[in-house]
């Protein structure tokens, strides 16, 4: 009987240690989550500023180019076509918009992961406390 009590006490002590470790791990995960979300939000903020700056710049440039300009220098040699922007290239503004979209997706994924981790931790604590209570009787 004493051996059984000692075994139960050892099991309870082990469960309490596991709960403490789980709590420490959860704190580390939460700090990492907080840093990830903060980084992604800061990234979005900076990229929105850059995007707005570029939009303003290109709108002013487009307005200035609306004035008819005479071509500089001699006409191009025969066989050369007029220069056109590559229609398939996305441009820097589309690239920035894609990075902003990626940052939002990463933030959303981090939030979902945090919620899942928190729920798993709460379930673990609840089950461990129930098990400790059952073994204490």
What letter does residue 28 receive in the DSSP assignment? H
Q: Do 111 and 37 meet the contact criterion of CB atoms below 8 Å apart?
A: yes
Residue 109 reports pLDDT greater than 90: yes
Q: Do 4 and 68 meet the contact criterion of CB atoms below 8 Å apart?
A: no
Q: Half-sphere exposure of 45 toward its Cβ, with a 13 Å CA cutoff?
A: 6
The residue with tokens 């899942």 is 116
Cα–Cα–Cα angle for 77, 65, 82, rounded to 5 degrees: 20
Q: Which two tokens stand for residue 20?
A: 């403490």
Backbone angles phi, psi at 87, to 5 degrees: -70, -25
Q: Which two tokens stand for residue 80?
A: 């050369």
Backbone angles phi, psi at 75, to 5 degrees: -65, 155
What's the pLDDT score for residue 73? 66
pLDDT band (50, 70, 90) for residue 59: confident
pLDDT band (50, 70, 90) for residue 11: very high
Q: Please list the alpha-helical segments (H only) found in the chain.
A: 2-65, 91-136
For a pLDDT cut of 90, what percent of the chain falls above it? 61
Q: Give the residue-averaged pLDDT of 59-76.
A: 66
What's the pLDDT score for residue 124? 95
**For 37-41, 60-64, 126-130, which range has the lowest pLDDT when averaged over its residues?**
60-64
What's the pLDDT score for residue 82? 64
What's the pLDDT score for residue 135? 84
pLDDT band (50, 70, 90) for residue 1: confident
Backbone angles phi, psi at 60, to 5 degrees: -65, -40
């Amino acid at each position: 009987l004493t051996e059984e009590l000692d075994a139960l006490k050892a099991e309870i002590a082990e469960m309490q240690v596991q709960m403490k470790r789980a709590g420490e791990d959860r704190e580390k995960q939460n700090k990492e989550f907080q840093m990830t979300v903060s980084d992604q939000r800061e990234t979005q903020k900076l990229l929105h500023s850059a995007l707005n700056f570029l939009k303003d710049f290109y709108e002013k440039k487009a307005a200035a180019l609306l004035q008819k300009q005479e071509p500089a220098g001699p006409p191009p040699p025969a066989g050369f076509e007029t220069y056109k922007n590559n229609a398939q290239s996305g441009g820097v503004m589309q690239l920035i918009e894609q990075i902003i979209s990626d940052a939002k997706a990463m933030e959303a994924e981090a939030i979902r992961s945090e919620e899942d981790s928190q729920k798993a931790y709460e379930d673990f604590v609840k089950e461990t406390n129930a098990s400790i209570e059952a073994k204490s009787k």
